[in-house]
Amino acid sequence: MSAPTAQHSALPPRPSYGAVLRVPYVRRAFTAALTARLSYGTVSLALLLSVTRATGSYAVSGAVLSLFGAASVLLMPLRASLIDRHGARRALRPMATLYGALLCTLAALTWRQGAPSALIATAAALAGACTPPLGPTMRALWSELVEDRALLQRAYSLDGVAEELLYVSGPALIGVLAGFTRPAAGLLLSALLIVAGTWAFTASPALPGPRPRQRTARPSGVVRGLLAPVAVAAGVGLSLSGLDLLVMAFTAQHAYDPALVPWVLGALSAGSAVGGLLNGAVPWRMPARTRLCRFAVALGLVIAAAALAPDLWTLTAAVTLAGAFIAPSLTTAYLLADELAPTDARTRAGAWVNAAVNAGSSTGALLTGLLIGAVPLGICFLLAGGVAIASAFAAGPRRRRPSRR
C-alpha cells in the first residue's frame, strides 16, 4: 500500500499561483521588480503635472510627455539588447542610476516656474532614452526560473495582472502626493522607486549573467519570427487607447457627469485583472499563436459591439467584458515571443512586444482624437474594434498550399 502513496507524492505539483511564488528566489526578485516598475505608473502623470505648473502651457507639457514616451518606446529594443549581451546586473544598474538622475534633474527644473521649455524637453528626452526595461527583464527571468510551460503561463499572467494594478495605483499615488507638496515631488518619488527597486532586483541571486551569443540566431530572423505577437500587441494598444477616448466622448455626448469616466476605465482594468487570472488558470491545449489571435478577435468584437450601447451602464458592461481579453492577449503575446526567441534574445523579444503596445497606444490616441467629431461615434467604436480584429488576421497562421508535382 505504501508504493502507490510514494508514487503519488512524487507527482509534480499542480500549477498554481502559489506554486509560482514558491519557486526559489522568485518572491524577492518579483517584489523588487514591482517596486521599480511602480515608477512607470507614477512618472507620466508626475511629469505632466510638474511641466504644466512650471511652464503654464498644456501644449508644452504634452510635447514634453510625447518626447519622453517616444524616446522610451523607440529605444527599448536597443536597451534590452544590452541586457541580453552584458547581463542584467551590468546593464540595469547604470541605466537605472542615470535615469533616476535625469528625473531628479527634471524635478529641479520644474520645481519653480520659469525654466526654459527647451531645456525641460531635452532632459525629458534623455530620461526616456535611458528608461530601464524592467518588464521585459522580469519576463525573461520568469523563463529562466520556471521550466514548466503550464507554470510559466501562470507566472506571466500573474506578472501581467500585477503590472495592470501598478498602472492604476501609480496615478492615484501621485494624486495623493500632489495634495501635500509640489507636483515635481512625484518625479523624485519615481526616481527613488526605479533606482532602489532596480538595485534590489539586480542583487537577487536568481539573475543570470550574460549569455554567449548564438551563431544560429540572426537578428533579422528573430524580428521576422516575432511579427505575430508584435502585430497583435500593436493592434491591442491601438484599440485600447482609442477606447479610453471614446468613453470620454460617449460621456460628453450623452450628458453624463465627467466624474464617471474614471469609474468606467476602472471597470476596464478590473475586467483585465480577472481575465488575466482566469487565463493563467486554464490548462490550454491549443497553440499560443491560435489563442493570441482568438483573444484579439474577441476583444475587437466586444469593442465594436459597444457602438450599440444605449447608455453609460451598458457601455460599462461592454468595457468590462472587453477588459477580460486585454491581459490574456498581452500575456499570450509575451509567451509566444518567449517561445520564438532564442535564449540569448529573450529580453529583446519581450521588449519588441512591449514597444509595440506602447507605440500602438500612442498612435491610437492620436488617430482617435482626429476621428472624434469628424465621424459618428458608433463608427469610431467599429474602427477601434476592427483594428484588433485586423491584427489577429495579420498574425494568424498561414496554411500552406499543397505542392503540385
**Alpha carbon separation from 69 to 6, 139, 193, 215, 377 (Å, rounded):** 56, 21, 19, 34, 28
301 pLDDT above the threshold of 70: yes
Output the CA angle 183-188-189, nearest 5 degrees.
90
Instruction: Count the residues in the chain.
Output: 405
Amino acid, res. 369: G
Residue 319 has pLDDT above 80, yes or no: yes
Task: Look at residue 187 and tell me whether its pLDDT is greater than 50.
Answer: yes
| pLDDT at residue 100 in the model | 95
Residue 296 near residue 370, CB atoms below 8 Å: no
CB under 8 A, 24+ apart: contacts of 250-254:
250/309, 250/312, 250/315, 250/377, 251/312, 253/377, 254/311, 254/312
Contact residues for 316 (Cβ-Cβ < 8 A; gap 6+): 263, 264, 267
Pick from 134-143, 158-167, 213-222: least confident: 213-222
Whether 286 shows a pLDDT value over 60: the answer reads yes
Please check whether residue 59 is in contact with residue 67, taking contact to mean a CB–CB distance below 8 angstroms. Answer: no
pLDDT at 209: 57
Which pLDDT does position 279 carry in this prediction? 85
**Max avg pLDDT among 8-22, 70-84, 160-174, 182-196:** 182-196
Q: What percent of the chain has pLDDT over 70?
A: 89
- Same fold across 23-202 and 219-395: yes
Q: How many CB atoms lie within 10 A of CB 259?
A: 8
pLDDT band at 214 (very low <50, low <70, confident <90, very high): low
Among 151, 106, 159, 153, smallest CA distance to 128 is for: 106
- Residue 224 confidence (pLDDT): 60
Region of poorest pLDDT, from 130-144, 257-271, 282-296: 257-271
pTM: 0.79
- Cβ–Cβ < 8 Å for 359, 240: no
Can you read off the three cell numbers belonging to residue 237?
494598444
Q: Which pLDDT belongs to residue 225?
A: 64
In this prediction, residue 131 carries a pLDDT of 92
Give residue 173's pLDDT. 87
Confidence tier at 212 by pLDDT (50, 70, 90): low
> What integer is the mean pLDDT of 389-403?
69
Distance of CA 405 to the CA centre of its chain: 48
> Class assignment of domain 23-202?
mainly alpha
pLDDT band at 402 (very low <50, low <70, confident <90, very high): very low
CATH code at 219-395: 1.20.1250.20
* Spatial CA neighbour of 300 closest among 229, 354, 232, 361: 232
Q: Measured between alpha carbons, how far is 53 from 69 in angstroms, rounded to an integer?
A: 20
pLDDT above 80 (res 373) = no
Q: In sequence order, what DSSP letters do the residues of 290-352 get, joined into one string?
A: HHHHHHHHHHHHHHHHGGG--SHHHHHHHHHHHHTTHHHHHHHHHHHHHHHS-GGGHHHHHHH
Q: What is the pLDDT of residues 70-126, one digit of tens each?
A: 888 888 888 988 888 888 888 999 999 999 999 999 999 999 888 888 999 999 999
Report whether 294 contacts 178 (CB < 8 A). Answer: no
Instruction: Quickly state the pLDDT bin for 276 (edges 50, 70, 90).
Output: confident
Closest CA to 304 of 392, 227, 230, 218: 392
> Quick check: helix, strand or coil at residue 284?
coil
**pLDDT, position 97:** 95
Reduced to 3 states, what is the DSSP secondary structure of residue 120? helix
| pLDDT higher than threshold 80 for residue 397 | no
Radius of gyration of the chain measured on its C-alpha atoms: 22
- Domains of the chain, by residue range, sit at 23-202, 219-395
Quick one: average pLDDT of 320-324?
91
Q: Is 211 left (phi over 0), alpha (psi -120 to 50) or beta?
A: beta
Distance, C-alpha 74 to centroid of its chain: 14
Is residue 17 helix, strand or coil?
helix
- Give yes or no for residue 6 having a pLDDT over 50: no
Please compute the mean of the pLDDT values over residues 295-312 and round it to a whole number: 92
- List the grid coordinates of 376: 459618428
Residue 213 has pLDDT above 70, yes or no: no
Average pLDDT score over the chain = 83
Q: What pLDDT was estimated at residue 398?
A: 57
